[in-house]
């Protein structure tokens, strides 16, 4: 298996050695190994028509059909991504000869796997327009639940690229070297002279989210030495430098980088290479490095990406390491995922306000893994995050032994329609099973989505079995994510907002974020914790904000009672007050409105609004007494005196503009308290 890897440094295999390698790979019955064979198929074109080559093709067809029968359509599509069109046609011809005479005239009588294999080989051979037509002809009489999703996946994979003139959005630029990045030809002994403008383009695109790779017919060692001399080697990812045909190499590169050809630009000075790549990789954009159009195009693309202020080089460097390690270890998909040590955690509700811009960017940039094919109007996701009565926004953060991938998945679920508005993922986690993990997480929260009509493309078959799910409520997990996404010095935290699900909104609008921490279920404080002692595991800085409504709902007390018990409430509240007084804390206490219409006390599913409305004035009365008794500790705010009726979603939840005003009140209170503390210390 190591033989094929030697070709990257310019060595070659004899036809006998290539045949031995081909037979070995096919006998392993693993479709994921076929790209290692197909990548160099064109260099051994004379091998395939012979008896030995035909036997290898027959074995390859067996592997493909077996893989399709196992329901692993994506494995076959990935395996054939490196297959030359001519060889795909040979394989298709061989497959057809093995079928009963006239079988293609009645495709509905073929087995599902056989129909899929014929369609995929037809697409790989260049007959992209025929794929969807053939699959539709084969559809009658089949079980749509089994046939439909793979057929849709195959049809989408080979769908002809739409006209994208003026709308090209690159994620990858593949550069030739000789007479493209520099003047001169290394193989001819020339001393390369760097084209400074092109080097500037490479560095600038890296800063603005578009990565660069290399595909060059050169000796790797010499090319690397030259690039290092120019200080450019580390500016590129996935360098493919060898004397091999560029079409197959770039096709495999795009597959390894988990991108679409429609988001790739190839630059070369050789017209033959440009035509070869354009033919081998349908949908890719190519440009002649010697034309005036080249630099003009690069300048336009750079200007269009100037708003992106994120380098993705590290992301693809991580992926490059994974591809190389997997090839070296010869692992199956599942074994590779297991040994990768994948971990994921999910954030919900107000925790996601910190990541609002990234959520919008992910949904709006994702194409391959945007399963709802939807987009978000920039600046609007914050409203849905805060509208917790109508939406659940769930985000996935992932890391493994190779590195940290960040926020790579978003689901936005609308309660009213009970459907997904958005379900999108980063291509960096393709084939890792994160989609399945997200669906399982949503199902655990009460939102089963396997049959959701919002899905516009089939979900991948990968299971999430290899992923270890961690709770974001775990302090170490949260610290791990925030250290990457929003670094802060936790030793400076002096203010904690304990307002259950609205805490994050107050934090989001605060001007004191550097010294503030906030609650978000299940990471929160509530009065029953005083009774069971769970509060001792939490940190309470000097300044606390507490919304009393947090504990005005029956289910908060379910560990001790089916509903609010007045005596138990008083016991726990007294313990909290004692902790605040003895601990030298300052507490800003918000009381919810009372005496509203009955509908305003329909606080949650199963709530009895009549009981809720009765309890509010009773419990508010207790807190008013506390504030009167300890005015130096508790500062009381009556929200009924602050909020207008149209700012209430219900008695406990408020519209974003109200949340912003409450946050400003918290800031002003904190400023007053810290200023007073400073004066007392000075005195």
Of 149, 329, 311, 324, the C-alpha closest to 236 is 311
CA distance 88 to 412: 41
CA distance 277 to 289: 14
Q: What is the DSSP string of 284-299?
A: -EEEETTSHHHHHHHH
pLDDT tens digits for range 108-126: 888 889 999 999 999 988 8
* 332 compared with 166, residue with greater pLDDT: 332
pLDDT, residue 4, reads: 38
Q: What is the DSSP string of 427-468?
A: GGGTTTTHHHHHHHHHHHTT---TT-TT-SSPPP---STTEE
pLDDT, residue 451, reads: 46
pLDDT band of residue 233 (cuts 50, 70, 90) is very high
* 644 compared with 334, residue with greater pLDDT: 644
Could you tell me if 302 and 323 are in contact, meaning their C-beta atoms sit under 8 angstroms apart? Answer: no
Could you tell me if 499 and 506 are in contact, meaning their C-beta atoms sit under 8 angstroms apart? Answer: yes
pLDDT, residue 206, reads: 94
For residue 11, pLDDT beyond 70: no
pLDDT, residue 145, reads: 73
CA distance 598 to 568: 25
pLDDT tens digits for range 496-536: 999 998 999 999 999 999 999 999 888 899 999 999 999 99
For residue 325, pLDDT beyond 90: no
CA distance 159 to 129: 7
* 562 compared with 333, residue with greater pLDDT: 562
Q: Please give the mean pLDDT across all residues of the chain.
A: 88
pLDDT, residue 562, reads: 84
CA distance 150 to 130: 16
For residue 42, pLDDT beyond 80: no
pLDDT, residue 441, reads: 92
Pairing of strands 193-194, 342-348: unpaired
β-sheet bridge partners, residue 523? 520
Could you tell me if 158 and 131 are in contact, meaning their C-beta atoms sit under 8 angstroms apart? Answer: yes
For residue 78, pLDDT beyond 90: no
| Alpha-helical regions (H) of 475-608 | 475-485, 503-509, 528-532, 566-582
CA distance 80 to 123: 10
| Alpha-helical regions (H) of 230-374 | 246-256, 271-280, 292-304, 313-329, 333-340, 356-365
pLDDT tens digits for range 571-585: 999 999 999 999 999
CATH assignment of 488-682?
3.40.50.1110
Q: What is the pTM of this model?
A: 0.59
pLDDT, residue 453, reads: 56
User: Averaged over 144-155, what is the pLDDT?
Assistant: 83
* 604 compared with 68, residue with greater pLDDT: 68
pLDDT, residue 543, reads: 97
* 250 compared with 605, residue with greater pLDDT: 250
The reply to whether 488-682 shares the fold of 172-315 is: yes
CA distance 409 to 424: 6
pLDDT tens digits for range 364-386: 888 878 988 889 988 899 999 99
Q: What are the residue ranges spanned by the domains of the chain?
A: 4-157, 172-315, 342-477, 488-682
pLDDT band of residue 620 (cuts 50, 70, 90) is very high
For residue 12, pLDDT beyond 70: no
pLDDT band of residue 334 (cuts 50, 70, 90) is confident
pLDDT tens digits for range 430-457: 888 999 999 999 988 888 664 455 677 7
pLDDT band of residue 3 (cuts 50, 70, 90) is very low
Between the two ends of the chain, the Cα-to-Cα distance in Å is 78
Reduced to 3 states, what is the DSSP secondary structure of residue 126? coil
* Class for the domain spanning 342-477: alpha beta
pLDDT band of residue 344 (cuts 50, 70, 90) is very high
For residue 251, pLDDT beyond 60: yes
CA distance 539 to 497: 12
> Which residues fall within 8 angstroms of residue 599, CB to CB, at 6 or more apart?
609, 650
pLDDT band of residue 167 (cuts 50, 70, 90) is low
pLDDT tens digits for range 376-415: 988 899 999 999 888 999 999 999 888 888 999 999 998 8
Residue 592 tokens, joined: 């919810």
User: Averaged over 67-74, what is the pLDDT?
Assistant: 88
* Class for the domain spanning 172-315: alpha beta
Q: What number of CA atoms fall less than 13 Å from residue 544's CA on the CB side?
A: 25
Poorest-pLDDT segment among 33-42, 360-369, 580-589, 609-618: 33-42
């Amino acid at each position: 298996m190591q033989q094929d890897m030697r070709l990257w440094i310019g060595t070659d295999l004899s036809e006998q050695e290539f045949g031995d390698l081909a037979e070995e790979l096919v006998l392993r019955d693993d479709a994921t190994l076929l790209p290692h064979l197909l990548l160099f198929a064109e260099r051994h074109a004379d091998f395939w028509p012979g008896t030995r080559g035909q036997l290898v093709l027959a074995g390859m067809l067996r592997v493909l059909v077996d893989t399709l029968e196992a329901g692993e359509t994506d494995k076959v599509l990935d395996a054939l991504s490196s297959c030359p069109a001519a060889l795909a046609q040979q394989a298709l011809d061989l497959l057809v000869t093995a079928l009963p005479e006239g079988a293609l005239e009645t495709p509905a009588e073929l087995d599902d796997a056989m129909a899929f294999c014929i369609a995929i080989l037809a697409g790989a051979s260049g007959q992209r327009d025929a794929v969807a037509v053939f699959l539709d002809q084969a559809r009658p009489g089949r079980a749509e639940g089994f046939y439909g999703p793979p057929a849709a996946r195959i049809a989408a994979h080979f769908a002809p690229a739409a006209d994208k003139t003026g709308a090209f959005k690159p994620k990858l630029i593949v550069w030739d070297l000789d007479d493209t990045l520099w003047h001169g030809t290394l193989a001819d002994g020339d001393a390369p002279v760097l084209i400074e403008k092109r080097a500037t383009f490479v560095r600038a695109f890296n800063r603005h989210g578009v990565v660069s790779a290399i595909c060059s017919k050169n000796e790797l060692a010499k090319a690397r030495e030259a690039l290092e001399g120019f200080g450019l080697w580390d500016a590129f990812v996935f360098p493919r430098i060898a004397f091999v045909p560029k079409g197959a190499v770039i096709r495999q590169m795009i597959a390894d980088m988990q991108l679409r050809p429609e988001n790739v630009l190839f630059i070369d000075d050789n017209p033959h290479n440009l035509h070869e790549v354009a033919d081998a990789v349908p949908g890719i954009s190519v440009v002649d490095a010697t034309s005036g159009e080249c630099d003009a195009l690069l300048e336009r693309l750079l200007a269009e990406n100037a708003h992106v202020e994120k380098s993705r080089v590290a992301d693809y460097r991580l992926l490059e390491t994974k591809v190389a390690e997997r090839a070296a270890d010869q692992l199956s998909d599942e074994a590779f995922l297991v040994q990768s040590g994948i971990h994921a955690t999910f954030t919900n509700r107000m925790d996601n306000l910190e990541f609002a811009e990234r959520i919008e960017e992910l949904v709006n940039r994702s194409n391959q893994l945007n399963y709802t094919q939807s987009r978000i109007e920039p600046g609007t996701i914050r409203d849905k995050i805060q509208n917790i009565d109508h939406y659940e926004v769930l985000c996935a953060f992932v890391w493994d032994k190779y590195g940290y991938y960040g926020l790579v998945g978003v689901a936005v679920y609308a309660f009213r329609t009970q459907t997904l508005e958005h379900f999108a993922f980063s291509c960096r986690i393709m084939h890792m099973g994160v989609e399945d993990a997200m669906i399982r997480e949503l199902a655990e929260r009460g939102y089963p989505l396997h049959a959701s009509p919002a899905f516009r493309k089939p979900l991948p078959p990968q299971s999430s079995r290899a992923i270890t799910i961690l709770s974001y409520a775990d302090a170490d997990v949260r610290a791990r994510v925030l250290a990457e996404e929003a670094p802060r010095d936790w030793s400076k935290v002096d203010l904690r907002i304990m307002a259950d699900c609205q805490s994050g909104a107050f934090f989001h609008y605060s001007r004191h974020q550097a010294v503030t921490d906030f609650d978000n279920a299940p990471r929160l404080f509530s009065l029953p914790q005083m009774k069971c002692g769970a509060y001792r595991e939490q940190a309470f800085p000097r300044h606390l904000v507490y919304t009393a409504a947090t504990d005005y709902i029956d289910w908060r007390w379910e560990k001790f009672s089916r509903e609010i018990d007045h005596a138990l409430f008083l016991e726990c509240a007294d313990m909290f007050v004692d902790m605040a007084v003895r601990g030298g804390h300052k507490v800003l206490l918000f009381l919810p409105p009372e005496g509203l219409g009955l509908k305003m006390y329909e606080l949650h599913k199963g709530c009895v609004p009549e009981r809720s409305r009765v309890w509010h004035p009773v419990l508010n009365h207790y807190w008013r007494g506390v504030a009167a008794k300890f005015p130096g500790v508790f500062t009381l705010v009556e929200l009924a005196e602050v909020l207008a009726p149209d700012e209430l979603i219900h008695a406990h939840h408020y519209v974003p503009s109200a949340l912003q005003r409450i946050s400003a009140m918290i800031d002003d209170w904190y400023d007053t308290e810290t200023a007073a503390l400073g004066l007392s210390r000075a005195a």
